[in-house]
Amino acid sequence: MIKHREIEVGKEIHDSGGNVPKNSGRVPGLRDVVSVERATATKARESWHVLGIMSEFFEASERLAQIRPAVSIFGSARIPPGDPRYEKAELIARKLSDAGFSVISGGGPGIMEAANKGAYEGPSPSVGLNIELPHEQASNAYQNISVFFRHFFPRKVAFVKFTSAYVVLPGGYGTLDELFEALTLVQTNKSRKMPIILVGSDYWQGLVDWIHAQPLAQGLVSPGDPGLLQIIDDPQAIVDAIFDFYQHEGFTQSPGEREQILNL
């Protein structure tokens, strides 16, 4: 029979020299490894950090409350103007804006800029959820509504909370993170089911094939999970697919769906 040693967390036990003895049977607390004054300052700074995150949630909710229905467009910051993918993102966003959708992007360059530019030239709001990063991220000039974040967490919630569909163009780790975040929330019923559309069959088909060949084949996702993704390359077909999805339900969130968003 395996015997487990009891471990106390945070109870300060010191030797005669004021230090925590080795093998004391517990995990050291913050005040064991730094001075009391420094520990207090660290805790205060962490508390202010939490308040800063809360303020970002509050500002996003206040600024974006009236933008629905909206579509979030994701894609690489590294795709320049003149690239066919940039031009396609701009056209998709313009068609969505003309159809009455606000367009939400990450507010930066590349595909994000193309999405904001297309929407900015249309009648519906162009929204940028800007993030402070050491490199790559600089706000583009095509935003009717700009919200600035220091933290990824409240920014991700804003993408989910206010959108009715996701349109995902080619991108790197950040785009893949946003894509799989959306898939996970829909798959686990933490957000309402909605269209998740991949643009660029030459870029995304390999990923979709891998999902069928590996996670699905090994029973690591449910049989219906790959169907959460659609690959559509034609801009007008993307708009039509979103309307078709909501043809019977409408774009207004039900009370249950609003409760889902509150429990992300």
Q: What percent of the chain lies above the pLDDT cut of 70?
A: 73
pLDDT tens profile 152-211: 888 888 888 889 999 999 999 999 999 999 999 999 998 889 999 999 999 999 999 999
Q: What is the DSSP string of the chain?
A: -PPPPP-EES-----TTSSPPTT-SEEPPHHHHS-HHHHHHHHHHHHHHHHHHHHHHHHHHHHHTT--SEEEEE--TTPPTTSHHHHHHHHHHHHHHHTT-EEEE-SSSTHHHHHHHHHHTSSS-EEEEEE--SSS----S--SEEEEES-HHHHHHHHHHT-SEEEE-S--HHHHHHHHHHHHHHHTTSS----EEE--HHHHHHHHHHHIIIIITTTSS-TTGGGGEEE---HHHHHHHHHHHTTTT-SSPPHHHHHHHHT-
Whether the per-residue pLDDT at 32 is higher than 80: the answer is no
pLDDT for the residue 7 = 42
